[in-house]
Amino acid sequence: MTYSIAILGASGYTGAELIRLIAGHSSLKITALGAFSKAGQSVAQVFPHLRHLDLPTLLQIDQIDFANIDLCFCALPHKTSQSVIAALPPDLKVVDLSADFRLRDPDDYEKWYGNKHSALTQQAEAVYGLTEFYRDDIKTARLVAGTGCNAATGQYMLRPLIAAGVIDLDNIILDLKCAVSGAGRSLKENLLHAELSEGYHAYATGSTHRHLGEFDQEFSQIAGRPVQVQFTPHLIPANRGILGTGYLRGDAAQIHDTLSQAYANEPFVDVLPLGQTPSTRHVRGSNFCHIGVVADRQPDRALVVAALDNLTKGSSGQALQNANLMLNIEETEGLMMAPLFP
């Protein structure tokens, strides 16, 4: 069986990544592509690397007929996404890649994103899209909210540890190193090649990054008490990848065991042998997440390091993994491609 797919926001990087992945999928077919300023253009004009594919021209979203669409990916900016999704047919399956439906409490949304949520009905039904931890809910969901790419990285590192009670909840530090495609295709001076390459820096310092809303929500729910991590992202001169370095209090061997067991049957999350740590270059372009654990020289202190590709496992790959579940397709379909190295 072939399912008919729409992608809204097809001219951004996560849109392009969805097209790339779906092109290698055995039972999905893209029948509509939506965009704003680039509507009317062909995919070959917007993304010459996809010129070999037979794809529809980009349309304004209101030009799209959703009657025969089986599932819609929405890769739009937050705030835009909620109003677009509220206007879609109410029974259309949707995987949203924006931040609009990640936070269950509308006050949290307003606190972190600065505007009132305008699609509360949809927000109430949305399922948080971290596949490995919400798999059963996702299978029956109508609307799935893709996680933040940083938020995914940190949660792969920490969720099993918080659940198992093997780390000190008041001493969690997450230092993330993020590649530039995570900032999207927006025209900002600090994203220019001449500005960014050859240098690196911290941003959203002081634990002000919006993905903290997701950490707070999820970690506190797991722990059954408020948990606040200290989190600093850094912008690195590379195009793809997030490397998360977690400084934790706990026994490294116990941490390693806990993570190994948690992900033992997961096709995409791979825990390295104790003492080894991952590199972003080894997951590039793939849906894999590699996690390593190392004991510090000081007792009861441990390092957890995770690597994933922000555009794949961190957003579009995750979105496709969720769509597979929602359409009752094999979860790994279209997602087993090996990383690109070198």
Count of residues binding a copy of itself (CB under 8 A)? Answer: 86
Instruction: Tell me if 306 contacts a copy of itself by CB under 8 A.
Output: no
Site for a copy of itself (CB under 8 A): which residue of 207, 220, 254, 260? 207
Active site annotation includes 74? no
- Write down the catalytic residue from 74, 149, 178, 289: 149
Q: Which is nearer to a copy of itself, 126 or 238 (CB)?
A: 238
Instruction: Kindly state the tokens that stand for 263.
Output: 């992900």
Site for a copy of itself (CB under 8 A): which residue of 37, 121, 265, 298? 298
Instruction: Tell me if 51 contacts a copy of itself by CB under 8 A.
Output: yes
CA distance 170 to 223: 11
Looking only at residues 242 through 271 of this chain, which bind a copy of itself when binding is defined by CB under 8 A?
243, 245, 247, 270
Asked if 108 contacts 41 with a C-beta cutoff of 8 angstroms, the reply is no
Q: Which residues contact 155 (CB under 8 A, 6 or more apart)?
A: 130, 133, 147, 214, 215, 218
Minimum CB separation of residue 221 from a copy of itself in Å reads 19
Minimum CB separation of residue 185 from a copy of itself in Å reads 7
CA distance 105 to 3: 33
Asked if 119 contacts 82 with a C-beta cutoff of 8 angstroms, the reply is yes
Q: Which residues of 279-305 are buried (b: 16+ CB within 10 A; e: fewer)?
A: ebeebbbbbbbbbbbbbeeeeebbbbb
Site for a copy of itself (CB under 8 A): which residue of 138, 236, 323, 329? 236
CB atoms within 10 A of CB 123: 22
Dump strand ranges (E) for 75-121: 93-96
Element (H, E) at 293: strand 289-295
Instruction: Tell me if 48 contacts a copy of itself by CB under 8 A.
Output: yes
Instruction: Tell me if 237 contacts a copy of itself by CB under 8 A.
Output: yes
Minimum CB separation of residue 265 from a copy of itself in Å reads 14
Site for a copy of itself (CB under 8 A): which residue of 266, 277, 300, 327? 277
CA distance 239 to 181: 5
Instruction: Tell me if 191 contacts a copy of itself by CB under 8 A.
Output: yes
CA distance 317 to 326: 14
CA distance 306 to 256: 12
Instruction: Tell me if 198 contacts a copy of itself by CB under 8 A.
Output: yes
Instruction: Tell me if 16 contacts a copy of itself by CB under 8 A.
Output: yes
Q: Which is nearer to a copy of itself, 120 or 202 (CB)?
A: 202
Site for a copy of itself (CB under 8 A): which residue of 213, 241, 250, 314? 241
Q: Which is nearer to a copy of itself, 44 or 86 (CB)?
A: 44
Minimum CB separation of residue 127 from a copy of itself in Å reads 27
Site for a copy of itself (CB under 8 A): which residue of 5, 32, 47, 156? 47
Q: Which residues are catalytic?
A: 149
